[in-house]
Structure 1
Amino acid sequence: MTQNHGTEPPFTGRLLHNKRDGVYHCLICDAPLFHSQTKYDSGCGWPSFYEPVSEESIRYIKDLSHGMQRIEIRCGNCDAHLGHVFPDGPQPTGERYCVNSASLRFTDGENGEEING
């Protein structure tokens, strides 16, 4: 998924319905990507966030594959494919970072438990 720019089937990801407080990291390099406070249910079938932890945590790539014009998002540290960002998210950013669960590792903020997507 992270290396071949794949997409997991919608509504199948292990972290889609995770509601615990914590941080979502890159599965490959463990760089922090998203805080749980920015996660929301977009109804698209993949974990969705409205903001990354920092500008440096995400790399943006123009994606013209499959006859569409999209913006691919990659880990800013190791360049692993994460998903895509769309301009239809909630405020305050108006963006929807649509991320493959299989690209993420979640670390629980209370007990430190880690869950691979």
Structure 2
Amino acid sequence: MSRQTDKTDAEWRDELSPEQYRVCREKGTEPPFTGRYHAFKEAGLYRCSCCGEPLFRSDEKFDSGTGWPSFWESVGADAVATQEDNSHGMRRTEVQCANCGAHLGHVFPDGPRPTGLRYCINSVSLDFEPGSESP
């Protein structure tokens, strides 16, 4: 379960861009093929843009053709949290940062081996650390 930070809504609004706030704190999404990391190919580590916790490695990133950065695995079982999302008339599994509760995107069971998962993540919820694959 989430280890949530103790920031208030006002503190999040002060620290995040309007787009980061809309996606990460209000569970929004960015339009497909518009995020800075959807076609990004550099080696490194993806961190939560809200709290800096490590979430995904570039070695687990793949081109899903969906327009969002996609990963087949997170950096560890305790990096992300999931919960059922029945919004917008769909049944999906939401992915959140396990540390601060930021909305990251959704996970689907149609990814590549070895996990068969596709973590479909909003670019705005990520910060990239080049050259580092280790959390």
- The alpha carbon displacement at 1:72 in A equals 0.1
Letter in 2 for 1:35: R
Flag the structure with larger Rg. Answer: 2
Letter in 2 for 1:58: V
1:68 to 61, 65, 90: 90
- TM-score, normalised by the number of residues in structure 1: 0.93
Larger strand proportion of the pair: 1
CA distance in 2, matches of 1:13, 1:67: 24
- The alpha carbon displacement at 1:2 in A equals 0.2
- The alpha carbon displacement at 1:23 in A equals 0.2
- The alpha carbon displacement at 1:16 in A equals 1.0
Gaps (5+ residues) in structure 2? 1-22
Aligned length: 110
1:14 equivalent in structure 2: 36
Runs of 4 or more above 4 Å deviation: none
Letter in 1 for 2:90: M
1:92 equivalent in structure 2: 114
Gaps (5+ residues) in structure 1? 111-117
1:51 to 73, 88, 92: 73
- The alpha carbon displacement at 1:103 in A equals 0.3
1:105 to 121, 127, 130: 127
